[in-house]
Amino acid sequence: MKTTLFYISIGIFTLFFTGSCMNYHVQKGDISYNNLAYADAIHHFEKAYRKGFDPEVALKLADSYFKVGKIDSAEVLYNRTIENGNRQPSVLFNYSKVLMANGKHAIAAVYLREYLIAHPKDAVARMMLTACNSLIQRFRDTTLYTLTPIQNDEFVNAFSIMEYQNGVVFTADKKVFFGRKIAAWTGNSYLDLYAMNKDVNGNWMSPELLKGDINGRFHEGPATFTADGKTVYFTRSNYLKRRMDVNAENENNLKIFQATLIDGEWKNLVEFPYNSDDYSCGHPTLSADNKTLYFISDMPGGEGGTDIYASQLEDGVWSTPINLGRTINTSGNEMFPFIHDDGALYFSSDAHNSMGGLDVFITYFNGKRWMQPENLNYPLNSPKDDFGFSLNRDNHTGFVSSSRNEADQMFAFEKHPPKFNLIGTARYKGTINPVEGVIVEITNVKTGEIETVMSDANGNFKIKLQPDMEYDLFCTKMGCFSRTDKISTLGLKYSEDFYANYEVEPIVIDKPIVLDNIYYDFDKWEIRPDAALELDKLVQLLIDNPKIDIEMGSHTDARGSDQYNTVLSDKRAHAAVQYLISKGIDSARLTYHGYGETVPVNGCINDVECTEEMYQQNRRTEFKVKRINN
């Protein structure tokens, strides 16, 4: 009895202690969660979760993982939450985003459809579903960018790297061990702005904090610089001395500041005039002439989330910011704008048909309006967050930031032009027999340069084409009809192969070649529009083969009198020749003959009952090569 009571007592004490410990961590976790201190919330919720499954704890832990970018852990807990019966729309939506970030777009689409039943007008969710269904488009050309990670073990997160002077400037945080206040959201240090250069061997040197008053007690970055490098506009937390200001939702808004470079240090901080304690302004980028500042804000009157705005510098004063409009801004989040010297605007968005999270997009202003943004696709973008894009002055290298490896990491990229090839096959007409020795000349219309290849034993040939060029193609083989074609890569942004199938047809004197689909109205000989299309092909053949002379021949079926058919066919053949002359063919190369019903191709002659198909076979227009001129 004593033994039993002893174990019961131990059990009651253990249960009481465990429950108290769990309640403690849940309470502490809730406080941190409500204060947006997700790193600390994770610490407490994990301890509580290990004591036993609690639906509310599991959901808040999943949300906290999601907020700090621990996507794999968030997926596991969202999944368990849903399996436990919680199918709240917000859970379905966040789970869908996590699934997309982990590359599970087909599964994400299922939950997005369920979410849209409850929120059919949610534009972001609709765009996410579209992205899931069109994922293959993001991989349409993976050769356009080569990414190289910039390794630096000094930082936990590093992003928004951009060219500055002879090096770069970027934003980063570190692991905190002692002596510095921790950013509650991540549990790392606050973000600061760093500069970094390369040594003589091209290796990145140790980063240094920007000097002067630019880095304060809380968050700084991203930044943008004037063309002369002497003025910086940068993002900073809204704080005064040692206190960070927060709004009613316990959020700290961002502000844009300006600083001036004086004797190697950034001094004279000035607030952007449209900052506010009630909303954020941040992520500035300057136009090449320093007169337009683009930035993001969640100020009232936007499309939702954060939008991109522009302000003009007029007589030293920044104008009232203008929202760039619905073509660019969505009800999602548009962030990290970058305006290049050529006027192209790059930005990141979690809408606009992204792969998942933030993707980098490009748009142009055509003088009247901003063009529809285009996704820069994989490998520049990934299912995770991709942002902080910047293109260097050389226009083919730059930087981008990505969370594809869990933490935010900087990548250098090299931009490549699309690749184009002409892939051709030469076969004898009407067969699969290859033709070796076909000469293929391709002329660059812009430069006049001619490249020549020859078909191999399998009848194949291949030529590389340049971007934004037009080409004339000429295929020829001794004793055969030559053919021409045109190929253009003008305006094409993605790599593509062009295919040419050259049907080789030997030239045989007096061999009739039937022109298909040459029809005339009853008792008429005028060239109809549909017949003109076919005769245009003969025009091109004559242009491609300027040394041949031909005879146009016209035939009728056996119905009607012999004389009538001869006269009618003669008029039709003559009309065909006149059409060729009207298209610029020398009349000296052309003769014509009306054969009436005298040369049937089947047994459908006078007094023989035939099918309509047999009659049609005899009603034909053809040409013969009569002479090859030297």
Confidence of residue 630 (pLDDT cuts 50, 70, 90): confident
Sorted by sequence, the CB contacts under 8 Å of residue 457 that are 6+ apart come out as 434, 436
pLDDT of residue 244: 55
pLDDT of residue 246: 53
Percent with pLDDT over 90 in the chain: 72
Evaluate whether 296 touches 324 at the Cβ level (below 8 Å): no
Q: Average pLDDT of 44-52?
A: 88
Task: Tell me 164's DSSP state.
Answer: E
Sorted by sequence, the CB contacts under 8 Å of residue 96 that are 6+ apart come out as 108, 111, 112, 115, 125, 128
User: What angle, rounded to 10 degrees, do the helices at 71-83 and 89-101 form?
Assistant: 140
Question: What's the chain's average pLDDT?
Answer: 90
Percent with pLDDT over 70 in the chain: 93
Q: Average pLDDT of 198-223?
A: 93
Candidates 235, 219, 221, 152; CA nearest to 184 is 219
Give the CA angle between residues 189, 194, 196 to the nearest 5°.
135
Q: Which pLDDT tens digit goes with each residue over 499-554?
A: 999 999 999 999 988 887 676 666 678 888 878 888 998 999 999 999 999 999 99
Q: Residue 428 in 3-state DSSP?
A: strand
Query: What are the backbone angles phi and psi of residue 27, rounded to the nearest 5°?
Result: -65, -45
Q: What is 334-361 written as a DSSP string?
A: EEEEEE-TTS-EEEEESSSS-SSS-EEE
Evaluate whether 246 touches 190 at the Cβ level (below 8 Å): no
How far is 60 from 256, CA to CA, in rounded Å? 32
User: What angle, rounded to 10 degrees, do the helices at 105-118 and 123-133 form?
Assistant: 150
pLDDT of 223 strictly over 80: yes
Strands annotated E in 150-240: 157-164, 167-173, 192-196, 208-209, 220-225, 231-237, 239-240
How far is 96 from 114, CA to CA, in rounded Å? 10
pLDDT of residue 104: 95
pLDDT of residue 348: 98
Question: Identity (one letter) of the amino acid at 229?
Answer: G
**Is the four-CA dihedral 622, 626, 627, 628 of positive or negative sign?**
positive
Q: Average pLDDT of 575-590?
A: 94
Q: Tokens at residue 576, please?
A: 């065909």
Q: Which pLDDT tens digit goes with each residue over 445-486?
A: 999 999 999 999 999 999 999 999 999 999 999 999 999 999
In order of their start, the domains of the chain are 2-139 (1.25.40.10), 154-415 (2.120.10.30), 420-504 (2.60.40.10), 513-628 (3.30.1330.60)
Region of residue 620 (phi > 0: left; psi between -120 and 50: alpha; otherwise: beta): beta
